[in-house]
């Protein structure tokens, strides 16, 4: 067999461009999605139905199911009427509207396979249409089952994160901090955070990216809250900058979060973004957990994740 | 593209706080869950139905299915009665109670799509209600299928672990030991253990955490038993401590276990916790496997995982 | 327990042979699959129905479902006719053809469990056949549900890649470049690329493999496009080679791509291959993203992934 | 937050004991499963129905489905008879046997929800039993769907491996070799092998384990065959040993194989074991792939994976 010579060079890039004029303003939206619109995708790729079906909101999904069911029944009712209602035994209707509703309900009984049989097909054509409709009903239902399972089992980290990041006092100096907590009852373990700072270098008009060093970038379990801390010391690009500087640099802090969801046994990812308007200069987060009164447990108040109090920063 | 400067600092924390007064007593319950109660979660996150449905006990789950089925049939029976039982062909009832039961059983025949047709809807309103009930029946059943699959396929490591940890003689000195075995027929491979010691530093009243060095922290397969061993030597925080010291320090040993389940092809995690009341000072575990009498195989007696015999420790 | 001595030697090979005469021409086809045909596989392994069912094209899959449904109904129609149509109550047919269609439609009503009941089995044999057909119908439908879910949930990276690789000017010298973008709406994060060069050493007539050093081999997210760049400098095997040399060496560039699909929470892999006829000597890719006119987002034009313009290379 | 001090000691063990007299003969069976029998497992863990249902052979699984279907129908037939057949409209039977079969087929029509309605429940008790049976039918079918999907989607590496390992000439000396190939049409990529040697040290009567150094222990893709090679040089424990020595030491070679299955997007593991009776001293494997005659592809003959020819070894 053939040997491969490996290089040791392992370089990573963000996947964003550097030409400031080429790109939109915010890289990551507040919901954690990338602020990118695609165009010109190949036709077959443009529609990823399954992806849409499992990510759409529940009310839209239910509306879609009801619309599909109604439309299919209207369609088959019209087909049965075209075939001739004399081929549907038990059709008691006299007017066209009555025929339609008999055909409509017969269709619904066929598609759901309930098949009471009070109305039933007797002619060849009606029998054929009914045989086809049953199959379509079963396949639609098989797809529905798969999509519902897909919706349920899709892994999602739902992090509660503070609306603002703060510049807080930290070990005699200052630090950039924001706080996250798990907003679901799933257990997130082996969590990691990576904090990127994106800004426009006004000298070169290029967008630059820096990874900010974190006090801790791993946590065994997100059982309580996690205050992510970037100390503004040493070679931190934030050293000496003011809030106005951040705004002029069109600064954005993007946190890539990764954890293992014990319930679904899957790695989940999410992103949190703070732009320069979402920074509070001189504040610290207030406690959000305490010992339970009636048990030996700890109580975590998830809605307090963004609570902070203003406080003076040490003058550097 | 933009280059990222990476820092080499990789620090991990437990995700628990250090203020002793702020937190409950035990960090990890005996069943391996974190001893944390959440409050103030956003309304939509408070209910994670799928999570509840796949983790609830089987008898509760079956009871829920039966309750749902009965309630839906009662509800639709009442709707059919409100619509008018003259719209249900084949209803033989004379009294209201008899009408109710005819409507109830007609509903059950509709919802399960069995649709015998001895009773069947003839009016517009009854037909409409029946068409809706069929769809609800099919969707409920689709959800049931997904949830049952979710229950079945959820990866779970079920470890048999010794009820107590022991301080045992080890290589001339002593060691903290506990023993685990796989209580399921699934094969667990590439297993890892990490042992944390949590205690309250009475000088600072802060909760401190130490990772305890293990004799082995990886095992190719949990085919037999695994005695996890922390030798009390060198810089072990247990050197020189007595059982009373551990109790005064409110000591808790938490083992994070990780393995790969070959049947489900997924990584599984579990936790084991021993507090100071679950330590036996001076004991060793007795053998739990032997050569099979009639075959060349090895027999593992899972129920003996906690069996130990008392024995004197070497005086240090 | 027994300790294992571990060796530090970690060597990797491509899995392809080195005897040039032993192997086919192209290692990887344009669709990313390996250009290998298997023979002599054990009978049970030769057919991996599930694999075929979830990877076949949709129109083939639907055709298969319809064919199966029709064939089963024909088969059971013939069985019911053999059993005797006097056992099917409601059979109105007079001729053999009419009997067949009555049996055919009765079969379809049984297999889909619609069971109108206008035709129904009355004899023992017909009842038995119908009871068996129901079960087969339910199992087929269970399989259909599983396969449909398998088809939907199968993770696939669909990369748009440039049809050609180019030799482009790069930092004063030249570089081999090709460009990829995500052709689906799924988010691909933590992407990695590895570029192999395979060629025949005409001196030894052996196929050799080299890993080519990349400018970046990791990317945080494939949010925009990624131009994979191998600088032709230093110890690159391409230094000093012309396009003719590459053709004579039967050269092939294989890129192994790996990413994490956030929607499916799974690692996806794909391969891209360029042979010497798919290299443009002296060209560079033209921009494929720009700032959106009406929003702060960035627009990515996926169909421009292969657009390049010819340009002179620096003379080395 | 509390910092954790991490130790650097990373030690691995096999998970097998070292007392030779305590354990069975062969550690790993020829089918790759561990040669261990469990006893004394907690009652709830002893039965992992889902695990059994998805791993049992297909004919057993189908037999189980048919047995369940028949048994349930017999059970409900008896319940309907106990309730009174006058509550089943359409029951034409005169003798008890005829009643039984009418009840049996009515039950099958209820459980599969086909519900023709020629026979249907009219009394309260029969209606209640039928309503319960429908629900049981639907739940059984939901379970069937989940189990069938579980059976299909379970990741399995099916390796074709040579029945024997050989001691072959290698780079002037000798090497232990065996050969594997992928027996399925799934693509296995990023494959790894680890080779353990287990033997009894007759001096101490302890079972010892050694990891054997491999020429290559990683392979980018198992597209063709892979001859796993352990060169018998340097500190290899096989240096100087004869076949008789291996037999006296009760030697067993266990290969842990790991790969990523592209179709299922999951990591798969398997094990291969050779004991001293499965070693051929002085042989080499013969080629198993060649260039296709009519295409540019390579043909892999999977059934030749174990083909070898005897050949003299260099005298050391």
Distance from CA of A64 to the nearest CA of C (A): 18
Higher pLDDT, D39 or B148: B148
Q: Choose the closest CB to D298 out of C3, C35, C110.
A: C35
ipTM at complex level: 0.74
Interface size, chain C vs chain D, as Cβ–Cβ contacts under 8 Å: 226
pLDDT band at D9 (very low <50, low <70, confident <90, very high): very low
- Of the ranges A258-267, D42-51, D228-237, which one carries the lowest mean pLDDT score? D42-51
Candidate from A24, A114, A137 with C-beta closest to C295: A24
Mean pLDDT of C187-192: 86
Digit-coded pLDDT (tens) for A27-77: 777 777 777 777 776 655 555 677 788 888 889 999 999 999 999 999 999
| Beta-carbon contacts below 8 Å between B and D | 226
Q: Report the alpha-carbon distance of residue C34 to residue D268 in Å, rounded.
A: 20
pLDDT reading at C51 higher than 70: yes
pLDDT at B68: 96
Which pLDDT belongs to residue D3?
38
Q: Is pLDDT above 80 for B31?
A: no
The pLDDT of B208-234, averaged and rounded, is 87
Q: Give the lowest-confidence range in B52-56, C69-73, D55-59.
A: B52-56
A266: its two tokens:
């899957």
Distance CA A165, CA A179 (A): 8
Question: Which residues, 6 or more positions from C44, have their beta carbon under 8 angstroms from its beta carbon?
Answer: none
Please give the structure tokens belonging to residue D92: 């034409």
- Of A254, A308, A253, the C-alpha closest to A280 is A308
Q: Which of B185, B222, B303 has the CB atom closest to D48's CB atom? A: B185
Chain D window 204-243: which residues touch B at a Cβ cutoff of 8 Å?
A: none
Per-residue confidence (pLDDT) for residue D185, from 0 to 100: 72
Closest to C165 in 3D by CA, of C241, C34, C255 = C255
- Picking from D213, D224, D265, the nearest residue to C268 by CB comes out as D265
Q: What is the pLDDT of residue C229?
A: 93
Helix (H) or strand (E) holding C311: none
Arithmetic mean of pLDDT, C182-203? 84
With contacts defined as CB-CB under 8 Å, which chain B residues touch C145? 145
What is d(CA D86, CA B97) in angstroms, rounded to the nearest whole number?
21
Q: Quick check: A113 and D113 CB within 8 A? A: yes
Closest CA–CA distance from residue C177 to any residue of chain D (Å): 22
Does the pLDDT of residue C242 top 50, yes or no?
Answer: yes
Helix/strand/coil for A238: coil
Q: Which residues of D touch B201 (CB under 8 A)?
A: none
pLDDT digits (tens, 9 = 90+) for B80-95: 999 998 998 888 888 9
Rg (CA), chain A: 29
C190-194 mean pLDDT: 89
User: Which residue of A lies nearest to D110 if distances are taken between CA atoms?
Assistant: A114
pLDDT at B1 over 60: no
| Residue of A265, A290, A294 to mutate, testing the B interface (most B Cβ within 10 Å of its Cβ) | A265
pLDDT digits (tens, 9 = 90+) for A110-165: 999 999 988 899 889 999 999 999 999 999 999 999 999 888 877 666 788 899 99
- pLDDT-based confidence at D142, cuts 50/70/90? very high
Side-chain-facing half-sphere of C125: CA atoms under 13 Å = 11
For the ranges A142-156, A262-276, B115-129, C34-48, the one whose mean pLDDT is highest: B115-129
Do residues A103 and A91 lie in contact, with contact meaning Cβ atoms separated by under 8 Å? yes
All residues of chain C having their beta carbon less than 8 Å from the beta carbon of residue B180 are none
**C173's tokens:** 């010298």
Nearest to A109 by CA among D115, B235, C228, B77: D115
Tens-place pLDDT, residues B52-81: 888 888 999 999 999 999 999 999 999 999
Q: Which of C1, C216, C221 to mutate to test the interface with B (most CBs of B within 10 A)?
A: C1
Closest chain B C-alpha to D296 CA, distance in angstroms: 36
Residues of C in contact with B4 (CB under 8 A): 220
Inform me whether the pLDDT recorded for A10 exceeds 60.
no
Region of poorest pLDDT, from A222-231, A246-255, B49-58: B49-58
In this predicted structure, what is the pLDDT of residue A243? 92
Q: Is the pLDDT of residue A81 over 90?
A: yes
The Cα–Cα gap between C214 and C257 comes to 13
pLDDT at B111: 94
CB contact (8 A) between residue C217 and residue A50: no
Which chain C residue lies closest to A49 (C-alpha atoms)? Answer: C152
For D242-258, the pLDDT digits (tens) are 999 999 888 889 898 88
Neighbours of chain C (3+ CB pairs under 8 A): A, B, D
Question: How high is the mean pLDDT of chain B?
Answer: 84
Token reading at B71: 């309630």
pLDDT of residue C97: 92
CB pair distance less than 8 Å for B150 and A148: no
Q: Do D116 and A117 touch (CB under 8 A)?
A: yes
Instruction: Tell me the two tokens of residue C106.
Output: 């009765």
**What band does C141 get if pLDDT is binned at 50, 70 and 90?**
very high
For residue C312, give the DSSP letter: P
- HSE on the CB side for D125, CA within 13 Å? 11
Per the rule left: phi > 0, alpha: psi between -120 and 50, beta: everything else, B172 is: left
Q: Which residues of C touch D301 (CB under 8 A)?
A: 39-40
| Residue C235 pLDDT class (50, 70, 90 cuts) | confident
| Residues of chain D contacting A220 with CB distance shorter than 8 Å | 4
Question: Can you tell me the distance from the alpha carbon of A299 to that of B31, in angstroms, rounded to the nearest whole number?
Answer: 19
Q: What is the pTM of this model?
A: 0.80
Residue C201 confidence class, pLDDT cut points 50, 70, 90: confident
Q: Does residue B69 or residue B199 have the better pLDDT?
A: B69
Residue C205 C-alpha from the chain's centroid: 32
Q: Which of residues 86-115 of C touch D (CB under 8 A)?
A: 89, 109-110, 113-115
Query: In this complex, do A135 and C112 lie within 8 Å of one another by their Cβ atoms?
Result: yes
What are C51's two structure tokens?
């694999």
The phi-psi region of residue D90 (left if phi > 0; otherwise alpha if psi is between -120 and 50; otherwise beta) is: left
Q: Give pLDDT, residue B15.
A: 64
User: What digits encode the pLDDT tens for the residues A86-115?
Assistant: 998 888 888 999 999 999 999 999 999 999
Tokens of D109: 């029509």
pLDDT of residue C6: 35
Q: Is the pLDDT of residue D204 over 90?
A: no
Q: Choosing among C10, C59, C112, which should be mutated to test the A contact, i.e. which has the most A CBs within 10 A?
A: C112
Question: How many C-beta atoms lie closer than 10 Å to residue D269's C-beta?
Answer: 20
Of the candidates B215, B223, B226, the beta carbon closest to that of D11 is on B215
Q: Which of D34, D25, D20 lies closest to B224 in space, CA to CA?
A: D34
> C96-111 vs C58-83: helix axis angle to the nearest 10?
120
Q: Work out the mean pLDDT of chain A and round it to a whole number.
A: 84
> Which of B309, B289, B188 is closest to D207 using CA atoms?
B289
The enclosing H or E element of A245 equals helix A243-248
DSSP string, C186-249: SPEEEEEEEEEEEEEETTTTEEEEEEEP-S-SEEEE-SS-EEEEEE--TT-TTTT--HHHHHHT
d(CA D216, CA C18): 15
Is the pLDDT at B11 greater than 60? The verdict is no
Q: How far apart are CA D272 and CA D14, in angstroms?
A: 15
Task: pLDDT band for D190, please (50, 70, 90 cuts).
Answer: confident
In contact, B258 and B191? CB cutoff 8 Å: yes
Express each pLDDT in B233-272 by its tens digit: 988 999 999 999 999 888 889 898 888 887 777 788 888 8
Domains of chain D (ranges plus CATH)?
46-153 (1.10.287.70), 159-310 (2.60.40.1400)
Q: Which of C62, C137, C70, C140 is nearest to C105 (CA)?
A: C70
**pLDDT, mean of residues A217-234:** 88
CB contact under 8 A, C11 and D218: yes
By CB neighbour count within 10 A (0-12 exposed, 13-18 middle, 19+ buried), where does B294 fall?
A: exposed
> Which pLDDT band holds residue C13 (cuts at 50, 70, 90)?
low
Q: Are D1 and A113 in contact (CB < 8 Å)?
A: no
Scanning the structure block, which residue is given the tokens 């937050």? D1
- Token pair recorded at residue C193: 């690329």
- Any chain B CB within 8 A of the CB of D48? yes
pLDDT at B6: 36
Q: CA–CA separation, C259 vs C257, rounded Å?
A: 7
CB contact under 8 A, A224 and B15: yes
Cβ neighbours of A3 in D, within 8 Å: 216
User: Which of B1, B220, B227 has the CB atom closest to C216's CB atom?
Assistant: B1
pLDDT at D41: 65
Strands B188-201 and B252-261, how do they pair? antiparallel
Residues of B in contact with C4 (CB under 8 A): 220
Q: Which chains touch D (3 or more CB pairs under 8 A)?
A: A, B, C
Interface of C with B in 117-156 (CB under 8 A): 117, 145
Give the DSSP H/E element, type plus range, for residue D118: none
Residue A208: count of CB within 10 angstroms of its CB: 17
Segment C97-121 shows an average pLDDT of: 93
Q: Write the CA distances from D75 to A153, C56, D71, D107, integer angstroms.
A: 36, 42, 6, 9
Locate tokens 């398998």: which residue?
C150
Residue in B39, B50, B196 closest to A299 by CB? B39
CB contact under 8 A, C118 and A122: yes
Least confident window among A57-71, A251-265, B160-174:
A251-265
Q: Residue C184: its chain A contacts at CB < 8 A?
A: 45, 48, 51
Q: Which tokens hold the place of C311?
A: 């340009």
pLDDT at A41: 65
Worst-scoring range by mean pLDDT, A4-8, B125-129, B232-236, C71-75?
A4-8
Q: Which two tokens stand for residue A303?
A: 């809605």
Residues of C in contact with B147 (CB under 8 A): none
Touching subunits of B (3+ CB pairs, under 8 Å) are A, C, D
């Amino acid at each position: 067999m053939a040997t491969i010579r490996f290089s040791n060079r392992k370089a990573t890039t963000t996947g964003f461009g550097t030409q400031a004029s080429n790109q939109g303003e915010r890289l990551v939206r507040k919901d954690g999605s990338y602020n990118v619109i695609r165009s010109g995708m190949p036709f077959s790729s443009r529609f990823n139905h399954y992806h849409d079906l499992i990510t759409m909101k529940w009310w839209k999904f239910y509306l879609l199911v009801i619309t599909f069911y109604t439309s299919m029944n209207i369609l088959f009712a019209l087909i049965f009427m075209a075939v001739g209602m004399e081929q549907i035994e038990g059709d008691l209707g006299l007017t066209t509207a009555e025929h339609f509703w008999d055909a409509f309900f017969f269709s619904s009984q066929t598609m759901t396979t309930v098949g009471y049989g009070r109305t039933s097909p007797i002619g060849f054509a009606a029998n054929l249409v009914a045989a086809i409709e049953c199959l379509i009903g079963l396949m639609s239902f098989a797809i529905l089952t798969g999509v519902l399972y897909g919706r349920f089992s899709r892994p999602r980290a739902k992090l509660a994160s503070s609306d603002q990041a703060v510049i807080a006092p930290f070990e005699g100096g200052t630090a950039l901090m924001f706080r996250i907590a798990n907003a679901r009852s799933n257990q997130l373990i082996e969590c990691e955070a990576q904090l990127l700072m994106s800004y426009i270098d006004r000298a070169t008009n290029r967008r630059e990216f820096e990874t900010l060093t974190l006090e801790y970038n791993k946590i065994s379990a997100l059982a309580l809250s996690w205050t992510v801390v970037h100390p503004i010391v040493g070679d931190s690009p934030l050293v000496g900058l003011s809030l106005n500087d951040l705004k002029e640099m069109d600064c954005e802090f993007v946190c890539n979060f990764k954890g293992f969801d014990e319930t679904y046994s899957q790695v989940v990812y999410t992103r949190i973004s703070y732009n320069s308007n979402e920074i509070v200069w001189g504040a610290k987060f207030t406690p959000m957990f305490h010992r339970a009164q009636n048990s030996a447990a700890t109580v975590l108040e998830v809605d307090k994740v963004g609570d902070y109090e203003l406080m003076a920063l040490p003058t550097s």
